[in-house]
Amino acid sequence: MASNHICCVVPPYLLIGIADSEQNEERLRISARNALEFNGHYCTKRKERFAALTVPRGFRGEAAEPPRQSIVPDVMLRAISESEDVDEQTRECAKRDLEHLQSVHARVQQAQGLRTGEEDDSSSAQQALSMGDKAKQPVASAVYRAVYDAQGTTNEARLPGKQVRIEGQKAVSDKAVNEAYDNVGNVLDFYLKIFNWKSIDNNNMHVVSSVHFGQQYENAFWDPSIRQMVFGDGHDFLHNFTACVDVIGHELTHAVTEHTSPLDYQDQAGALNEHVSDVFGIMVKQRVQNETADKADWLIGEGCLLPDVKGVALRSMKSPGTAYNDPRFGKDPQPDNFSKYKQTSSDNGGVHLYSGIPNRAFYLAAVAFGGYSWEKAGRIWWETMNSHQVPARCTFQQFADLTVDKANKLFGSDAAKKVQTAWTTVGVVRKSYA
């Protein structure tokens, strides 16, 4: 059976290039076609997720709101609380959270008639927590990471897989497990230390990851339905996903976007959705590498391409359209200016293709400010996403206007002019800022 790919970090236009190129063996072209088919399934889930989140509140019924599971099944907390190879503080913290979670489970189940005996059924407890606003979900006192081995399955029903490493445990022999554990930690630390945001939902949601997904699977993604990270091992062109902190930052930011300003995963709003993930992914990478805006390479997925591929990354925020040029999957097609924007029916209206336009605007703003990208440009973008002013079907123009206004509010008129200049340079022009 040909290996599949999910187009998430890896954009569909790259897979189309692989499928169409006569430079590739037929098995690779078939694999890419399968990838595109599966991509439709995955993107539909993401589109539906954001569509449900962006329904106007006055029109949202109980069935419209998808379940928001802020706590993983209590089996994970129990494992941490009983583990002999985690430190005492972590064990006690997990034990406290487990007791709290179980008490909430019991109250919810009793109130809703789900529990009649003394049985301990974590699946029914999880169901109780997934009933939307009917029950107040418990908030953990700390974030717990857990990494599982998917053992080659592509069946989401079998995820997360076999537990390998949980919060507080020492490194194991599996390199991918340790990289996923450490880099998820880097992303969470960035959000907490820079923006005081607790995990991906600001309520210390635990983060589960599965490595070794599929056979020679060339991608990594955040699955919006099962609420976890999934990593393949890579193969002919792409690999090393667990080692690329910007890739993990990108995907986890899709989940953060759900809890700040959900953007429809379609057309310009969808491109902004992808753009925001690139922005925060690149800032995580720059923080880990201690790079200022002017010294950074601004490459997304720099470590994902195998050495024989003619390219440097999956995307370039500094120079969209220059990340790669290889006869086996074509040239990076991202435009760098809004004048090149054309409506398309593919890729949910070009959400991956046109994210390069606002990406370059952010790069230009960050370099104009100087210093670290998260100090001013990143703060402006973060406050914009938390302003409750970003419409679900936001256009580039609307988003640009909001960032200019937010720059003025946070840092003054000179800052606003720098952000305005960045957007104007990429062809997104607003009325003159006074």
Kindly list the catalytic residues.
251, 352
As a whole number of angstroms, the distance between CA 272 and CA 270 comes to: 5
CB 209 within 8 A of CB 226: no
Helical segments of 113-239, H only = 122-129, 175-195
For residue 369, CA distances in Å to 361, 387, 425 come to 12, 22, 15
Residue found under tokens 């599929």:
214
Tokens at 316, concatenated: 């370039």
Residue found under tokens 């640009």:
400
**Which helix (H) or strand (E) covers residue 222, if one does?**
strand 220-223
Cα three-residue angle 60-8-186, rounded to 5 degrees = 95
How does DSSP classify residue 305?
A: B
Spatial CB neighbours of 299, under 8 Å, sequence gap ≥ 6: 312, 313, 315, 316, 317, 318, 323
Helical segments of 196-328, H only = 245-258, 267-288
CB 317 within 8 A of CB 363: yes
Q: Which amino acid, residue 301?
A: G
How does DSSP classify residue 238?
A: B
Helical segments of 259-342, H only = 267-288
CA trace torsion 412, 418, 422, 427 (10° rounding): 80
Spatial CB neighbours of 77, under 8 Å, sequence gap ≥ 6: 94, 95, 97, 98, 101, 144
Tokens at 72, concatenated: 């993983």
Tokens at 269, concatenated: 């709003």
Q: Which amino acid, residue 418?
A: K
Backbone angles phi, psi at 376, to 5 degrees: -125, -60
